[in-house]
A and B are shown apart, each in its own frame.
Chain A
């Protein structure tokens, strides 16, 4: 690691997408992607991935466990456009069709540390009751064309959704050189700045009147 003045800061996010709780549906799998602003770039790690297919547990918890690990590092010069994680959960309904079970998104935590987030998922609603009945029978439920829509604020006012289910994600966040840019994200354990050690001052004695330097 270099101690010269840095040109980018790094944010490393790792963790697991632990489990999901949904009342309906079975054989759930999710598609996950990380999205960030224009100033951000992925250094290492997978930006998009798909999980295994999980069945509902037999016990009273009725939970879908994926325990899916992720590890990604971003570099940037500007906190604007902070990375977000977007999840699209798919499953089979009563008739065996693969339908969308929920979308959710959240920002990666901005302070280093360990976090557990429980995110509620939602699905788009049909425009009318007739369409709702038809989509329930044919198994073609309304979906977002591009799941990255839910990571944006624009265009959300025309969407009608129904919230159902939740997903639990654990994050571990580390940063490098973030404070050297002058940013303060509320991190408690500050890494000591690696600077050149100051030379010890030699004491200088000034001879007063009547005394020689010796």
Chain B
């Protein structure tokens, strides 16, 4: 694991090298497009590597459920404001997204999973995250179309881990739109270019 440590020949006070690099993520989960169902909400969470720490902000949440009038798009306007500090660039933060739909009876059904890396370049970014959902047998799909309740992942590890994905059989779901602004601090002091 690459971590920041002072080169041995450099004579400098120890206090300078305890400066952590910081990342601010300021933006929102805008909404969705392309999902074939209405009344969608999203459970989002931030996935960090071991060297990272959340200084300020909430690292997970759930958006409102939007029953949209405007075609097949939903609007969430869910703000994300996070202040992170780190000693290394391994484990750069990722956002895990789980999109569910809520019907009139209050039942919750899975619509899609997605993961997107937080951008590494400072500035404003408009991100589009493609989502997918697990596909069952023909009988399960027919049942899902009429009654709801298709296969879901038991653990969110399958969303962000690259190791176990080969076990899954999935189908595409809609798109999640995010607007994120990134502010970086002290990265150039460690020689990291972005």
Taking Cβ atoms with an 8 Å cutoff, the residues of A that contact B are: 37, 78-82, 84, 104-107, 109-111, 115, 119-122, 125, 150-154, 156-157, 159-164, 181-187
- Asked if B121 contacts A80 (CB within 8 A), the reply is no
**B130 shortest CB reach to chain A, Å:** 21
Chain B residues whose C-beta falls within 8 Å of the C-beta of A121 in the assembled complex: 75
Residue of B nearest to A188 (CB): B123
Interface check B172, CB cutoff 8 A: no
Chain B residues whose C-beta falls within 8 Å of the C-beta of A182 in the assembled complex: 185-186, 189
A interface: dominant SS: mixed
Q: How far is the CA of A153 from the CA of B59 in the complex (A)?
A: 10
Contact bitstring B45-88, A, C-beta under 8 A = 1, else 0: 00000000001111001111111111001110111111100000
Q: How far is the CA of A110 from the CA of B183 in the complex (A)?
A: 8
Interface check B182, CB cutoff 8 A: yes
Chain B residues whose C-beta falls within 8 Å of the C-beta of A125 in the assembled complex: 67
Contact segment of B22-30, B140-148, B163-171: B22-30
Q: List 20 A-B contacts (CB under 8 A).
A: A78-B56, A80-B56, A80-B81, A82-B81, A82-B181, A105-B79, A110-B123, A111-B181, A150-B77, A153-B81, A154-B58, A156-B62, A156-B63, A157-B63, A160-B66, A161-B66, A161-B67, A161-B75, A182-B186, A184-B185
Q: How far is the CA of A43 from the CA of B77 in the complex (A)?
A: 27
Interface check B122, CB cutoff 8 A: yes
- Asked if A162 contacts B81 (CB within 8 A), the reply is no
Chain B residues whose C-beta falls within 8 Å of the C-beta of A82 in the assembled complex: 24, 26, 81, 181
- Asked if A81 contacts B81 (CB within 8 A), the reply is yes
Residue of B nearest to A82 (CB): B26
Taking Cβ atoms with an 8 Å cutoff, the residues of B that contact A are: 24, 26-28, 31, 39, 41, 55-58, 61-70, 73-75, 77-83, 102, 121-124, 179, 181-189
Chain B residues whose C-beta falls within 8 Å of the C-beta of A122 in the assembled complex: 64, 66, 75, 77
Chain A residues whose C-beta falls within 8 Å of the C-beta of B41 in the assembled complex: 157
- Asked if B184 contacts A184 (CB within 8 A), the reply is yes
- Asked if A111 contacts B124 (CB within 8 A), the reply is yes
User: Given known contacts A107-B79, A163-B75, is B66 in contact with A154 (CB within 8 Å)?
Assistant: no
Chain A CB within 10 Å, residue with most, of B58, B123, B185: B123
**B114 shortest CB reach to chain A, Å:** 18
With A160-B67, A181-B185 given, can you name 20 additional A-B contacts, CB distance below 8 Å?
A78-B56, A78-B83, A82-B26, A105-B28, A105-B77, A107-B26, A107-B27, A109-B124, A111-B124, A122-B64, A153-B61, A153-B80, A161-B66, A161-B75, A163-B75, A183-B184, A184-B183, A185-B122, A185-B123, A186-B124
Chain B residues whose C-beta falls within 8 Å of the C-beta of A84 in the assembled complex: 79
Chain A residues whose C-beta falls within 8 Å of the C-beta of B57 in the assembled complex: 80
Chain B residues whose C-beta falls within 8 Å of the C-beta of A115 in the assembled complex: 124
User: Given known contacts A161-B66, A185-B183, A186-B121, is B79 in contact with A154 (CB within 8 Å)?
Assistant: no
User: Given known contacts A163-B68, A181-B185, is B77 in contact with A119 (CB within 8 Å)?
Assistant: yes
